[in-house]
Structure 1
Amino acid sequence: MSSSPNNVSVVITNFVLVGLIEIESFRYVCALLALALFLVTLFVGSMIVYVTWTEKNLHEPMYIFICILVVNVMLGNASYFPKLAIDLLSGCSTISLAECLCQSFCIQLYAWVEMFTFTVMAYDRYLAVGHPLRYHTLMTNITTQKISLAVYVFNVIRVTVGVLLTSRLTFCEVNINNVFCEIMSLQPLACNDITINVLFGKTLTLSSVIGCLLVITYCYIRTVVICLKLSAESSQKALHTLMTHVLAFSIYAVTFLFVNLRYRLNWGSVSMQVDVIIPLIGTSIAITVNPLIYGIRTKALREKILCNVQKIVG
């Protein structure tokens, strides 16, 4: 069956990352920063995983959860910084649909595993402070591993469904207003109806965020209330650990919400460069600082890391 030239449809399989074009004049600086942040985070994260794995006294739920959180951050880093640096150095601003969906999957998986892991960590600290005598029965290392596996399985399934729904779309536009590819930037480019995609994304996002925030808030408040009833020494130790979690989660939550609000609000007269810089800085912060926070503020990890670094240097 033949078609007239006017009825020929073009299947779009490559997209333009407009954000890379917008920061073209700063590409070498941005590339070096991306590589530096990637290497620093990779080094600190690897040290945390190494000392947690090799030191038997760190084989406890809290350190296992920190290790899982750090591994997840390293995976998020690997899906973001290397490609960003390579694209900037090579001057390439295009990405195929397959690469786009793959990067979207990895970044979304990182974000949701992070959120759920923070939730589990808040509950773990509540159990440790509120039920110290039953804690080692309620939260064993096996239980920790099962919970972590469940978090990954659930989020792999939900992210996979979202990516598959997007992969079935036909696209009419090629410009992605970002420096990386993710679902919320890709869906508006579709020719066909995206109602199902939007409903699926919003329903799961709202239910997950609200559920996690409720659990985290409840656990943090209950933990603080219990700490106020403890002795000064016990209270100080518990609050220090809690504040480390609160700091790490707060930075993640603020950057996560800030980047996502970019898609929900009309920025009006905001320039394209500013619109691109928001996710660039937000995502970079979110997948960089947490290993540094836990590596610096967690005494046991900090001491072991410094000891191993001295051995390497010496």
Structure 2
Amino acid sequence: MLLESQGGTPADKEDTTGALPGTRAKSSVMVNVTMVFFVQDFVLLGLKEMEQLRYFYSVVALLIYFCSMILSTLIVYVVWAEQSLHEPMYIFICGLVGNVMVGNSASLPKIAIDLFSGCTTISLSRCLTQAYSIQSCGVIEILTFTIMAYDRYLAVGFPLRYHSLMTSKKALQSLATIWLVILISTLVVVLLVVRLRLCDTSIQNVVCETMSLTRLSCGSTVINDIYGTIYTLLIFISSFVIVTYCYIQTFLICLKISMEASQKAIHTLVTHIITYSTHMAAILFVTFRTEALRMKMIHTLKEITHQETLGKSK
């Protein structure tokens, strides 16, 4: 990862009073020279904004992390130990819980430690690793919710054929496929970021993610933008279409079955909808926030350039 800046060399700025007219004319021209540095650390501005209450936020982050890890471990253990819970629905729940454990481990401990110690920087390797872990977990969670919606549709719509349509083996294979595909596709996103030359080291967040790193580039990000847009739209649109279809079909089926079975199915459906919607809203908020910060940065740079142009014209 490179940091690129522009300026003149000391030789360009030397006084050339005693030089020949031709030499003086040439040396008086400022030549823009590109200086390249290796980026070693990034500054997380989100942590700086929390400095006044950093000890409080540090304790909160640790409490959330330890509570989530204890509850998640307990859920996984109960499903693993209880033979009657070795069914697709509980396997998907374990997949969600395991994904949450990985995502929280990639972010919360470092946030807590950095806040407690007052550190607001992160190394390049840790930044890329954190971005890879967090973004992979976010997409994996979306697709796990999607396969869970399909599983509930099969359970309600085809109760007699359900155990042949969705077995525990198929559930494990589905989760393994989701993890493998997302880990590879997210790795491509990270590798596209690695090749960029950066003009800044300030990240407008408490954690690293590839969108913020891409916005620091002083070169072309066309390939990153195209791949990122296609990747994001493909995930979001396919997930939304599948989940919406499964929800609607499940709801219509619930209207035709007995009251007791209908209430049970609708309760499961509503719980799933709330959880899925909350997660999607959180991801969309982060996405639009990053885009808003990028537009603000571009506007600020345009204003600075315009003021410099006016200053030179005067």
Q: Shorter-chain TM-score category?
A: 0.7 to 0.9
Equivalent residue in structure 1 for 2:126, among 99, 124, 135: 99
Q: Deviations over 1:49-103 (max 9, x none)?
A: 0101000110000010011001101111100100000100111111111111000
Distance in 2 (alpha carbons) for counterparts of 1:29 and 1:137: 51
What is the letter of the counterpart of residue 181 of structure 2? F
Are the structure 2 counterparts of residues 38 and 266 from structure 1 closer, same or farther at C-alpha, using a change threshold of 3 Å?
Answer: closer
Distance in 1 (alpha carbons) for counterparts of 2:39 and 2:147: 41
What is the letter of the counterpart of residue 176 of structure 1? I
1:257 shift after superposition: 1.1
What is the letter of the counterpart of residue 130 of structure 1? G
Equivalent residue in structure 1 for 2:149, among 122, 142, 145: 122
Please name the residue that 2:272 is paired with: 245
Equivalent residue in structure 2 for 1:34, among 54, 61, 70: 61
Distance in 1 (alpha carbons) for counterparts of 2:257 and 2:225: 47
Q: Deviations over 1:173-202 (max 9, x none)?
A: 011011110001111111221110111001
What is the letter of the counterpart of residue 65 of structure 2? F
1:241 shift after superposition: 1.4
TM-score when normalising by structure 1: 0.82
1:64 aligns with 2:98: no
1:45 shift after superposition: 0.8
Distance in 2 (alpha carbons) for counterparts of 1:225 and 1:162: 40
Equivalent residue in structure 1 for 2:158, among 113, 125, 131: 131
Q: Aligned ranges for residues 1-314 of structure 1 at < 5 Å?
A: 7-265=34-292
Distance in 2 (alpha carbons) for counterparts of 1:243 and 1:228: 14
Bigger fraction of residues in strand: 2
Whose relative contact order is higher, 1 or 2, with alpha carbons under 8 Å and at least 6 apart? 1
Q: Deviations over 1:220-248 (max 9, x none)?
A: 11101101111111111111111221121
Distance in 1 (alpha carbons) for counterparts of 2:235 and 2:201: 31
What is the letter of the counterpart of residue 121 of structure 1? M
Q: Which runs of 5 or more structure 2 residues have no equivalent in the other structure?
A: 1-7, 11-32, 297-314
Q: Deviations over 1:242-270 (max 9, x none)?
A: 1221121111111111111112336999x
Please name the residue that 1:302 is paired with: none
Are the structure 2 counterparts of residues 261 and 60 from structure 1 closer, same or farther at C-alpha, using a change threshold of 3 Å?
Answer: same
TM-score when normalising by structure 2: 0.82
1:9 shift after superposition: 2.2
What is the letter of the counterpart of residue 105 of structure 1? Y
1:7 shift after superposition: 4.6
Please name the residue that 1:308 is paired with: none
RMSD between aligned residues: 1.6
1:8 shift after superposition: 3.5
CA contact (8 A) 1:79 1:106 kept: yes
Please name the residue that 2:304 is paired with: none
CA contact (8 A) 2:215 2:294 kept: no
Larger radius of gyration: 2
What is the letter of the counterpart of residue 11 of structure 1? F
Distance in 2 (alpha carbons) for counterparts of 1:36 and 1:11: 37
Between Structure 1 and Structure 2, how many residues are aligned? 267
What is the letter of the counterpart of residue 244 of structure 1? T
Q: Which runs of 5 or more structure 1 residues have no equivalent in the other structure?
A: 270-314
CA contact (8 A) 1:228 1:235 kept: yes
Distance in 2 (alpha carbons) for counterparts of 1:97 and 1:248: 33
Are the structure 2 counterparts of residues 253 and 31 from structure 1 closer, same or farther at C-alpha, using a change threshold of 3 Å?
Answer: same
CA contact (8 A) 1:18 1:175 kept: yes
